[in-house]
Amino acid sequence: MSNSQLSQSQLLKLVFSRLIAGFGMLIALLFLSAGTLAYWEAWVYLTVLIIPMSFVLVYLLNNTPELLERRMRLKEKEPAQKLIVTIAFFLFLLCISAAGF
C-alpha cells in the first residue's frame, strides 16, 4: 500500500465524517430556510437522497474502495475545474436554500 492510499478504517472514517457533515449541512439549509421541521417535502427529499446513496456507498466499499477513495479527494488540479466546482457549490447552496423559502 502506498502512502497515498488509505487503509479501510481510514477510508471509512473519511467517508462517514464527510457524509455526516454533508447531511448536517443539507438538513440545516433545508429546515432553517423553511423555519420549521414540518417541511414534509424536505423529509421526502432526504429519504430519496439517502436510500440510493446508501446502496452505492455499500457497493463501493465492498467492490471498489479505490474508486471511493479517489472520489473523496476534493482538490481539482485545473483552474477551470476549480472554478466550475466553486460555482456549482454555491448554486447548490442557493437552490437548496431557495426551496425552504
Q: Are 67 and 6 in contact (CB under 8 A)?
A: no
Tens digits of per-residue pLDDT, 42-66?
999 999 999 999 999 999 999 999 9
Query: Has residue 25 been placed in a domain?
Result: yes
> pLDDT value at position 42?
94
Q: Is residue 1 part of a domain?
A: no
Say how many domains are in the chain.
1
* pLDDT at position 77: 81
For residue 35, what is its C-alpha cell? 423555519
> 46 and 30 in contact (C-beta within 8 Å)?
yes
Q: Domain range spanning residue 75?
A: 8-100
Q: 3 in a domain, yes or no?
A: no
Determine, yes or no, domain membership for 2.
Answer: no
Q: Is residue 63 part of a domain?
A: yes
Q: Is residue 24 part of a domain?
A: yes
Fill in the DSSP letter of residue 9.
Answer: H
Selection from 52, 70, 75, 69 nearest residue 9 by Cα: 69
Whole-structure pTM value: 0.75
Residue 33 lies in a domain: yes
- Residue pLDDT, tens place only, 16-50: 999 999 999 999 999 999 999 999 999 999 999 99
